[in-house]
Chains A and B, each alone.
Chain A
Amino acid sequence: MSGFCPRCGESLADHDGCAGEAKPGASLDPPRYCGDCGAKLTVQVLTGGYESKCLRCERRARFAQARG
């Protein structure tokens, strides 16, 4: 598996599940690490979604939560 864990930034190749996923409220956490390069993301949480930008590769993503 390629790519990086959005919770801890570790490579998915040798990542056997993230401890953070088991924590209460994990589903309410936006990603914090870039899935492409594993670097930290800056995340701007908005009322109905969030926008992120990788500090290394500068990949941007926008997520709008479904309404209803």
Chain B
Amino acid sequence: MSATTWDPEKLLVDAERTLLEEGGRLTMDEAKDLQQLPDLYLGRVADLAHQVRLKYCGDGVEVEGIVSGKTGGCPEDCHFCSQSSAFGDSPVAPTGYIPYDQLMRAAEETAATGATEFCIVYAVRGPDRRLMDHVLECTERVHKETDLDVACSLGILTREQAFELADNGVHRYNHNLEAARSYFPSICTTHSWEDRWDTCQLVRETGMELCSGGIIGLGETREQRLELAFQLAELGPHEVPMNFLNPRPGTPLSDNSIVEPEEAIRTIALFRLAMPSTVLRYGGGREITLGDLQRMGLEAGINALITGNYLTTLGQDIEDDLEMLSELKMPVKTVSKVL
């Protein structure tokens, strides 16, 4: 950004023309200029992101529920995660696979919210045969008892595993990049960013929808937040979950600060501007990061949310989420399966 040519109004007008009139995309430099605008312009950037969301995605909001299929005991050392066995101080005790009665209770609670998707998440590096059998059984049971689409998250996949999931009715696979490529080695040493990228590419090959996002507030710079947004844009997932760090006791990031609300809104807006047509989903940490400003995030680019509880922590009341959407006149998207 040159001091002699810096004109906030022009930056905004140019971005609006590119995204809304020409159907084009912002470059990373253009997004960086918008990121550096003073807080005075945050409302304008957020409003542009909202207009982009409405143009490319409409006003509907997709709702999803998630459940932990196996909690704790993970051999990976993702520094933000309370489920890693590398951090002995975490109070999260490991469990076996979720019993089917509990799983179905969570699925039915999810279906009752009007959600269309139910994601089962296992704390593992990758699946073995036993886990594959468990998740396929879970998928079959959820399909039999509800109208929910099933998503799952099992870590790093082989080609055979990816196709087996797709062939057995798994609709969407979650595998987050978590952080920008340049920052990932600072938050995980047991696998690489490229390992994650490769699994994401495999998922796309199978025809399953790819869900891949990250966590804001891991200690990355603002530039690295944009770097992640543009790496996700290059990856091209169907959906990007945006999580905000909720520092977990006993993890290396337990003393990290919560992301400031204005910065969270700015980051949401920039993710939307970088990925105009992608589903941007509110994930974990939105309650403590944004509080009452969660509504603003939905008017700054977010068009989906995880409702109810998370994997190891609780979320805000489901009714509060639905009331928020109602007040914003954002209808919950219904299942629209092609027969």
Q: Which residues of A contact B (CB under 8 A)?
A: 7-9, 20, 23-25, 28-30, 32-33, 40-51, 55, 65-68
Residues of A within 8 A of B313 (CB): 25, 28-30, 45
Contact B110 A47, beta carbon cutoff 8 Å = yes
Give the contacting residue for B92; candidates A9, A24, A32, A51; CB below 8 A. A32
Q: Which residues of B contact A (CB under 8 A)?
A: 65-68, 71, 91-95, 98, 102, 105-107, 109-110, 113, 246-247, 249, 258, 285, 287-288, 307-319
Contact A46 B109, beta carbon cutoff 8 Å = yes
Q: Which of A9, A65, A67 has the most CB of B within 10 A?
A: A65
Contact A44 B68, beta carbon cutoff 8 Å = yes
Residues of A within 8 A of B68 (CB): 44-45
Give the contacting residue for A23; candidates B110, B247, B311; CB below 8 A. B247
Given A44-B71, A46-B67, A65-B317: A25 and B93 interface contact (C-beta under 8 Å): no
Residues of A within 8 A of B314 (CB): 28-30, 45, 50, 65
Contact B67 A40, beta carbon cutoff 8 Å = no
Secondary structure of the B side of the interface? Answer: loop
Residues of A within 8 A of B246 (CB): 24-25, 28
Residues of A within 8 A of B107 (CB): 47
Residues of B within 8 A of A42 (CB): 71, 93-95
Contact B65 A47, beta carbon cutoff 8 Å = yes
Instruction: Give the residue name and chain of the A residue nearest to B323 (CB).
Output: A68
CA distance A28 to B312 in the complex (A): 9
CA distance A44 to B93 in the complex (A): 10
Would you give the shortest CB distance from A18 to chain B, in whole angstroms? 10
A-B contact pairs, 21 of them (CB 8 A): A7-B91, A23-B247, A24-B246, A25-B246, A25-B288, A28-B315, A29-B313, A30-B312, A32-B91, A43-B93, A45-B310, A46-B309, A47-B65, A47-B66, A47-B107, A47-B307, A48-B318, A50-B314, A65-B317, A66-B317, A68-B319
Would you give the shortest CB distance from A9 to chain B, in whole angstroms? 8
CA distance A38 to B288 in the complex (A): 28
Contact A67 B94, beta carbon cutoff 8 Å = no
Give the contacting residue for B317; candidates A23, A43, A55, A68; CB below 8 A. A68
